[in-house]
A and B are shown apart, each in its own frame.
Chain A
Amino acid sequence: MANDKIRIKKLYTLSSENRKFSFSLPLKHKIKIGKREYEVKLKADEKYGTYILWKNRKYPVEIIRSSQNKYEILFNDISYTFTVETPFSLQRMKVLNSNRGKIEQEIIKAPMPGKIIDVLVREGTTVLRGEPVVILEAMKMQNEIISPVNGMVVKVMAKPNTNVMKDDILVEIKL
């Protein structure tokens, strides 16, 4: 990734309560409220330590934690946690989240290439976690492919005596 240099115009900063703030790059030391822009200054001195000066008022700031793109900031005695995302990482996160959204569906895939010996379930069958659904022969060994979840089989793609590639979908289970 080191040489992946991409022009970024905007950063999105998300609070732990899912509020989204966006900032254009290069980052300005100004924040717009309504039609007016106000100057933000980050300063530090002996008496006050680090502070933000905004609208003629000083606010104490401390950085509690920082790791990768995650920041915990103490601002005026209240702590906030933010993650800073680029348009790309935000997009990626959205995709990941939308996949996570379909979590009521579990897809069982072939863990390795091989031959289907037997299919132990039909559409409409209820399965319990740990129950075998397919027998897959690979490297001269019969492997039980087990369901990782409790649910009902909604789709069976695997057919006996056919060959499958790694990651081919075998069975879909609705939670």
Chain B
Amino acid sequence: MMKIKRILIANRGEIAVRIMKTAHLMKIETVVVKTAIEPYAMYLTGADVIFDNSEDNSEIPVFLNIEKLIAIALETKANAIHPGYGFLAENAYFAQKCIDNDLIFIGPSPDAIYKMGNKTIARKIALASGIPMAMGSEGNIANEEEAAVIAEKIGYPVIIKAASGGGGRGMRIVRKADEMEKMFIIASKEAEKAFNDPSVFVEKYIDNPKHIEFQILGDSKGNVIHLGERECSIQRKHQKLLEEAPSCALDEKLRKKMGDMAVQIAKAVDYSSAGTVEFLLDTDKNFYFMEMNTRIQVEHPVTEIITGLDLIEQQIRIANGEELRYKQNDIKLKGWAIECRINAEDVQAGFSPDPGKIENFNMPSDPCVRVDTGVQTGSSIVASYDSMIAKLIVRGKDRKDAIKNCKMALDKVWIKGTKTTLPFFRMLVRHQKFQDGTFTTSFIEKDLEKYYFNSDYEEMLAAWLSTKLFVEENLNDDSINVNFEHGKTMSPWLLNKRINQF
């Protein structure tokens, strides 16, 4: 029986839309929160209840305000909360607060969140479970001298990581002993600033690894299965840009071995929900446990495509106390899926965020394409939140087919108003190293000379357009006489209007 009747979605953007979609299919009502920053956001349409929080002048965004969210859930008579990803998704205190208020937290137990959230505790659990790990300090380290001693023992390069970290912050690679002091201080300060906890630990740095993660599902009865891997090696400064499932670096044997390890570590914390165990895979196919994410991931759709499962539905069912309906043998991976994160970023300016209003938004509707988005024409990408515009998820019967479909789909995406990561993906799908699958996490930093793709024709057409504008502004009616008096600075708006009149 479904106990969950109404879910407060403690999130925004595409993940709020995504959660709502499944809730509707399951005939569960949803509550969303309207904020002053995004009063017309797409995630507000289609919910059963909109809680208007736009009068709230607090400096903390509502999605990070535990007391407020609990109060909203109680007031709107929601009996469950889905945190999505980011914000409070991996906050053990929030999960506990939900339980204390008789609200079902759609996620793992506070205990599992806490243990996996603290990297030093997670390392100890992994070690006790016999999971291969990069060598490193047993716990947090006190100072740079201690770090240097450990680094001497395991050999450089090493990486300093924040104990409470994630998302690449509070991490520093140290290649030589004389860099240790400086890097230790930087990492520790960054960790304190980002996670309110300066503790760091040291481990062996794996050069040029692939990022391989396993999706797992565990229920409250102690059953845990894995849904295969995702490869997320295409990243920049530890931020993932493209993910695919499965990975061409794994064969059945390695998949089983790594998958079993992922299940084992989840069992060690009585994990019950959807979760992700991240590994690094070196060039000799040795793998090392990195961390476990106790939430739904941005890249979950690629797993949904190759397994045919709805992961949000699984999360809800597990939170409802249901037993998993699948055994490990029921899970068959079929086909290939690629996800491109289309962000409002300027690839030509080092992926710097480019917030703005989306003036036109058209996505391909081919059967091989799935689009997860919280954006429509007229939406704004605001600087206060992440730069995600949409996830373009493409399937194929195998990797080659998926890349081919992805290339086609990328040419059909039409977004105007902000610069996007599209030119990067157009380059990527044409790159030899991407096509043959030999790329690693250092691909963007090391193997690329140019971050975007354009044909010579495109530059020429842009030149033609500039010339056309010049002619319109500076030349008289007979088109061949220059009048330098005109053609002063003109607002782009006016120019666009003028083009429209051609």
Contact = CB atoms under 8 A, between A and B. Distances in A.
B458 A59 contact: yes
Interface in B465-502: 465-471, 473-476, 479-485, 487-490, 492, 495-496, 499-500, 502
Given A66-B492, A67-B489, A44 B499 contact: yes
A58 B363 CA distance: 14
A84 interface: yes
B489 A75 contact: no
A79 B112 CA distance: 47
Interface string B3-44: 000000000000000000000000000000000000000000
B458 A78 contact: yes
A75 B465 contact: yes
A23 to B, nearest CB: 5
A69 B467 contact: no
A108 B169 CA distance: 56
B466 A27 contact: no
Given A27-B479, A66-B495, A79 B419 contact: yes
Interface in A8-23: 8-9, 11, 13, 15, 19, 21, 23
Interface string A1-35: 11011111101010100010101011100010100
Contact of B471 (A2, A27, A65, A79): A27
A93 B457 CA distance: 26
Interface residues of B, number: 50
B489 to A, nearest CB: 4
A80 B459 contact: yes
A74 B481 CA distance: 28
B234 interface: no
Contact of B484 (A4, A7, A9, A23): A4
Contact of A50 (B419, B471, B499): B499
Interface residues of A, number: 53
Given A27-B467, A63-B469, A77-B422, A49 B461 contact: no
A9 B480 contact: yes
Contacts of B360: 47-49, 60
B462 interface: yes
A86 interface: yes
A157 B484 CA distance: 40
Contacts of B411: 57
Interface in B111-135: none
B479 A26 contact: yes
Contact of B348 (A47, A48, A78): A78
Interface in A51-75: 52, 54, 57-69, 71, 73-75
A63 B482 contact: no
Given A42-B499, A84-B470, A76 B454 contact: yes
A8 B423 contact: no
Nearest to B348: A79
Given A73-B466, A77-B423, A33 B490 contact: no
B492 A25 contact: no
A40 interface: yes
A52 B465 contact: yes
Given A60-B416, A79-B348, A27 B468 contact: yes
A7 B480 contact: yes
Contacts of A7: 480-481
Contact of A68 (B348, B460, B488): B488
Which among A54, A63, A74 has the highest number of chain B CB atoms within 10 Å?
A63
B463 interface: yes
Interface of B: 348, 359-360, 362, 411, 414-416, 419-420, 422-423, 452, 454, 457-471, 473-476, 479-485, 487-490, 492, 495-496, 499-500, 502
Interface of A: 1-2, 4-9, 11, 13, 15, 19, 21, 23, 25-27, 31, 33, 40, 42, 44, 47-50, 52, 54, 57-69, 71, 73-80, 82, 84, 86
29 contacts: A4-B484, A5-B481, A6-B482, A8-B475, A13-B466, A15-B459, A15-B463, A19-B459, A25-B475, A25-B479, A26-B471, A27-B464, A27-B471, A44-B500, A50-B496, A54-B461, A62-B416, A64-B492, A69-B470, A69-B487, A71-B465, A71-B470, A73-B466, A75-B458, A75-B459, A75-B461, A78-B458, A79-B419, A80-B463
